[in-house]
Structure 1
Amino acid sequence: MAGRFASWDSYFWEPGGTVLRNLYGERDAGVLARREYRETARRWDELVTGRVRVPRTYDAEHLRAIHRHLFGNVYEWAGEYRTVGMAKGWSNFAEPSQIDQYLADAARVIHLTDWANLDRREFAAAAARTFAYVNTAHPFREGNGRASKLFMQHVAELSRWRIDYSPKVSGVSAEIWNQASMLSSPDLGSYDPVPGSLVPVFYAMTQPRERPPAPADGSDAGDGSDAGHAAGPASYPRGAGEATGQNPGS
């Protein structure tokens, strides 16, 4: 897999192209975006309702399993780490060689946090710190936002809270979400992300859970029935490949 997708252009149908290679054989960007949206919406619902379950290990493999399920019928590389550098706006995401470390740091934060006893403000801070590592890792060529949002919902199952991404509930628009995510990127020359900008965002999206916290070992994480369907697979829809570009340093 890594050999097949070893360069920026290899993810596209042709060098300099704008449409990602996909299992539909679709070469029209608009058609691909609509088909991807419909497919991931269906697969998202399977995970949220508990009809399909992924092991709650709260680590890189957990995130990869979510991505694999969401995008497995769309992209050959679903669930596989990207092999190229990527950037969005003024933020560069982790180099491919750093992805595992950032996700390991996210897992460390999760496993060292007493989620079941956090109040709303403490939960928002812990969720922001966890997500900042996951977002900086940005491990996949496409679909990072959808996979990481669902991953964070699974993390929230460990607490008395849930995350509702609906702007109607939280007031968090796509612009606010994207700006806070970009501001959480590590400072120039630094490794650790800066999650402060994300704390008020997660606070606004935090709602009480109807179910008790799940055990930390993931043995009874529930069926996702209170996960919040408003947090759909593409809360802020866009065409495949539009949001990110090649890291100029790659």
Structure 2
Amino acid sequence: MPHQYAWEDYFIPGTQTLKNLFGLVDPEELRTNEEDTVASRMLELQTAPVPGTFDLTHIRALHQHLFQDIYGWAGEVRTAPSADQSPMSKDGVAYAPVDRIAPIWTTERARIAKKPTLLRGSSSAADFSTRLARFWGEINHAHAFREGNTRTQVMFFEQLCEHAGYSLDIARLAPQHPETLREAFVDARYYFQLRGDAMPLAETITQVLTPLTKQTAVDPPQTAVLKASLDSQEQNRRFPELRYVQLDPYGLSEESPAQNDDSQLS
């Protein structure tokens, strides 16, 4: 059974540094080591995607793979803040309370299962983005993990998009990309959380989608179990941006961890 962490349990006592398997206390040193290590784990997914059916179990497996070297709670759904504390938030935008994480995933997954073509068979990238954006917005609002949500989400949705017949250019979501959409991407997710309107996120996603010339999967998401390995030609087609990068290939590290806004805990 996963450990039930209180908010303060995630931190090294007397610090604002997350407890980590490196034994590091300095937050900047932890950030650097975390980015490097997660980048390596991202590269591993180039040849061995984590199989799954695009549900909470699947994204937990992705998080566990990416953060297994860093946090003892990798792959575990966060259990804090509690109901009597201020919600987990970033830039003043609150995420779902812990008792809503699983229900959000259940609702969204059921919506997809009820209509298998919801994320497949779209007539255009814009149509697919419109269908996808609400799912992404809800999953981001759930914010299942204490840290590393964005990096896990982009790997999850890159895999889902490929399954649906599209290439998701997540490199353009990085701030250092010459044609970056990072700011628009972040703002659009916040906009969904505040307004419940997924159109800005859909418009952003549309700009980083390209239809695949060859369908790589034929089953609907609720029955798909993706292959654990691909031949070399397929690897290069799927993840060309990963061939030469070394550190944090997507530049998607959380620049500052999401915080609980309770001043006593900050």
Number of residue equivalences? 238
Structure 1 Cα separation of the partners of residues 191 and 96 of structure 2: 15
Q: Does 1:173 align with 2:176?
A: no
**In structure 2, which of residues 4, 24, 27 is the aligned counterpart of residue 26 of structure 1?**
24
Equivalent runs, 1:111-150 vs 2, <5 Å: 111=113, 112-114=115-117, 115-118=119-122, 119-150=124-155
Structure 2 Cα separation of the partners of residues 33 and 93 of structure 1: 22
Contact 1:92 1:247 in 2 (8 A): no
User: Who is 2:84 aligned against?
Assistant: none
1:78-117: CA deviations, max 9, x gaps? Answer: 0111112311123110100000011123323433241331
Structure 2 Cα separation of the partners of residues 60 and 204 of structure 1: 27
User: Who is 1:194 aligned against?
Assistant: 197
Deviation, structure 1 residue 77: 0.4
Deviation, structure 1 residue 179: 0.8
Q: Does 1:11 align with 2:22?
A: no
SS in 1 for 2:190: helix
Structure 2 Cα separation of the partners of residues 49 and 10 of structure 1: 35
Amino acid at match of 2:164: S
Identity of paired residues, percent?
25
User: Who is 2:258 aligned against?
Assistant: 244
Amino acid at match of 1:147: T
Contact 1:165 1:235 in 2 (8 A): no
Contact 2:10 2:19 in 1 (8 A): yes
**In structure 2, which of residues 112, 120, 128 is the aligned counterpart of residue 110 of structure 1?**
112
Deviation, structure 1 residue 208: 2.2
SS in 1 for 2:108: helix
Amino acid at match of 1:128: A
In structure 2, relative to structure 1, the CA distance for the partners of 1:238 and 1:138 (3 Å cut) is: closer
**In structure 2, which of residues 209, 212, 231 is the aligned counterpart of residue 209 of structure 1?**
212
User: Who is 1:235 aligned against?
Assistant: 251
In structure 2, relative to structure 1, the CA distance for the partners of 1:212 and 1:44 (3 Å cut) is: same
In structure 2, relative to structure 1, the CA distance for the partners of 1:199 and 1:126 (3 Å cut) is: same
**In structure 1, which of residues 74, 95, 98 is the aligned counterpart of residue 97 of structure 2?**
95
- Give ranges in structure 1 of 5+ residues lacking alignment: 188-192
Comparing 202-211 with 18-27, which one deviates more in the overlay?
202-211
Q: Which has the larger radius of gyration?
A: 2
User: Who is 1:190 aligned against?
Assistant: none
Contact 2:170 2:250 in 1 (8 A): no
Higher helix share: 2
Deviation, structure 1 residue 229: 4.9
- Give ranges in structure 2 of 5+ residues lacking alignment: 82-87, 243-247
Contact 1:33 1:238 in 2 (8 A): no
